[in-house]
Amino acid sequence: MRYKDENKSESIFNAAIQLINEHGLSETSMSKIAKKAGVSSSTIYVYFENKEDMLNKLYLNVKKKMSLELLHNYDDSIPLQSAFEHALKKYTNYILTNKDDFLFIEQFANSPLLHKLSRKEGLELFEPIFSLLEKGKSQNVFKQVDTNLLHMFMFLPAMQYVKDYFGGRIELKQDNLNELVQMTWDALKA
């Protein structure tokens, strides 16, 4: 029996992200990933059943890294607006500094290969944010709508800003980021 090496797994994930971002999901084969990762094609199957399994595990790996960054030093006992701003700024910083991860998530989140279970597990990693939004609703600070809608709207403006920045359509300006956070807060308020 072959044992799994965490470094090889990470190399496979990194190779997959690079190839997917360069060539797309459908053009990225397991053999291309193995070659780029510096492992044999048979070795990749020690770690993953197939491409779909690898992609779902990669998705959860990236979501976990993202949630750890977002929730680092997160304190839900501080005022609601401060906690909201802290989380949104941390998220924006993460996607700005982890472009490859962000672009992979953007591509794979819309793929039929993403399992419902992986999507659910990915969302569960951000449970403190859902709790923050629920707390805001219970205090009548946020709109009384489905919490999933609040969650979506909390992050979509930042995602679009970063996509426009990566696409060269806008400049990255701290003042604009601060205004974006304020506008997002204002939009969710009751």
pLDDT tens digits for range 174-185: 999 999 999 999
Q: CA-to-CA distance for 151 and 147, rounded, in angstroms?
A: 6
Q: 36, 10, 11: which is closest to 23 by C-alpha?
A: 36
In order of start, what are the domains of the chain with their CATH numbers? Answer: 1-48 (1.10.10.60), 52-188 (1.10.357.10)
Q: CA-to-CA distance for 92 and 108, rounded, in angstroms?
A: 19
- The answer to pTM > 0.85 is yes
Q: 118, 117, 187: which is closest to 155 by C-alpha?
A: 187
Q: 88, 172, 175, 94: which is closest to 133 by C-alpha?
A: 88
DSSP string, 106-137: HHHTTSTTS-HHHHHHHHHTTHHHHHHHHHHH
Question: What does residue 189 show for φ and ψ, rounded to 5 degrees?
Answer: -65, 145
Across the chain, mean pLDDT equals 94
pLDDT digit string, tens, across residues 113-148: 899 999 999 999 999 999 999 999 999 999 999 999
Q: CA-to-CA distance for 44 and 98, rounded, in angstroms?
A: 24
The pair of structure tokens assigned to 30 is 């397991």
